[in-house]
Structure 1
Amino acid sequence: LQIMTGLFLAMHYTSDITTAFSSVAHICRDVNYGWLIRNIHANGASFFFICIYLHIGRGLYYGSYLYKETWNVGVVLLLLVMMTAFVGYVLPWGQMSFWG
């Protein structure tokens, strides 16, 4: 779902610093159901992180950290997902992206 909505948003997104925010506004206002796709994408990312944190909590509860290689791969994947989420957070180049 994230990939599909992300590809749809990427079709209408402009990555130039001066027009990035206006392209997001264009998606929300002028593209048919663009506001819905953007909200699904944003809320889907939040839901994905909730699932990740629940998975980490389950791993801590059941002692999965004892399997060093598996745990280290999980930590690397978590860091990669967090970096990807940061880039997605900065892309709209709004006030929260600039000052956050």
Structure 2
Amino acid sequence: MKETIPIVGKTYHYFDDGKIKVSRRAEVVITDVIPFENIDEETLIQWKEAVEECDWLYAPETDFFVKVDTFFDITFVRTKDDNWFSFGFLAGRLDIDGSLNEQLNKQQ
């Protein structure tokens, strides 16, 4: 797994549904990075269900659960291509290195 782990307190871009478009871009602040072994049971169950339902997207293992500060509870986990994608309501991709936002800005 990549060593790139979001930093608590830092603001990152998030793309709703993983679509790299201005209309789908928002900023989120990381509030918590929870090691796999410390995650609560409810989140663990939701993650396992997401892995089963979208086995093409989510990695079967994750090292951390990344929580963000929004109006909704959004939790990011590792994807098969070693990126970060949330599960549940408002699932989307976290732009941890800024490359997605940079790509989008070049298109405009």
Whether the TM-score (by the shorter chain) exceeds 0.5 is no
The structure with more strand, counted as a fraction of residues: 2
* Range class of TM-score, shorter chain: under 0.3
* Bigger radius of gyration among the two: 1
Q: Structure 2 length as normaliser, TM-score?
A: 0.24
